[in-house]
Amino acid sequence: MWVRILSLLARFGLAAVWLASGWIKGSDPTQTIVAVRAYDILPESLVRPVATGLPALEIALGLLLVIGLGVRVTALVSALLLLVLIAAIASSWARGLSIDCGCFGGGGAADVGAWDYAREILRDIGFLILAGWLIAFPRSAFALGPRSRGPFGRREQHPSPDHLAS
């Protein structure tokens, strides 16, 4: 039972992260473009599509986690996205860039130090742990997905007529 309670907390926690991050980025698309460009990883032709698609993806992941639909797959996509974000932050740090990650708005040139990058990476590793938990234990209460349901969301199992005959 405690596993499903932890899964519910992980599901809602990660959903809150994605919804907040996506909403903030989506509310200021110009700043999101600045943030994506500041990483100096993507060719200019991909900056705008990534800056436009990232908030939409984050909001979609958050909504899927809130309603509990496809929790394992959503957690897997979340984990992959988090790995990409961690790699981008680490790359910026390693290349000596001084930028705000733009994870929850903002972004672009900033006065940041090693501790700022380390803190951002550690925070994202924490989110990655939540995603990993949900990959391993996707079932929790109040989920719409049939393979995601736990207590309070699971349909009662009735034996089949064949089972009663034996």
Asked if the structure places residue 14 within a domain, the reply is: yes
Q: Give pLDDT tens digits for 117-133.
A: 899 999 999 999 999 99
C-alpha dist (Å) from residue 118 to 90, 123, 126, 130, 133: 8, 8, 12, 19, 22
**What distance in Å separates the CA atoms of residue 150 and residue 5, rounded to the nearest whole number?**
9
Q: What is the mean pLDDT of residues 103-112?
A: 77
Query: What pLDDT, on a 0 to 100 scale, did the predictor assign at position 112?
Result: 77
Asked if the structure places residue 68 within a domain, the reply is: yes
Other beta carbons within 10 angstroms of residue 129's beta carbon come to 14
Total-model pTM? 0.84
Asked if the structure places residue 165 within a domain, the reply is: no
Say what percent of the chain tops pLDDT 70.
Answer: 87
Structural domain boundaries enclosing 129: 2-153
Asked if the structure places residue 163 within a domain, the reply is: no
Asked if the structure places residue 147 within a domain, the reply is: yes
The CA-CA-CA angle for residues 47, 49, 52, to 5°, reads: 105
Q: What is the mean pLDDT of residues 72-93?
A: 97
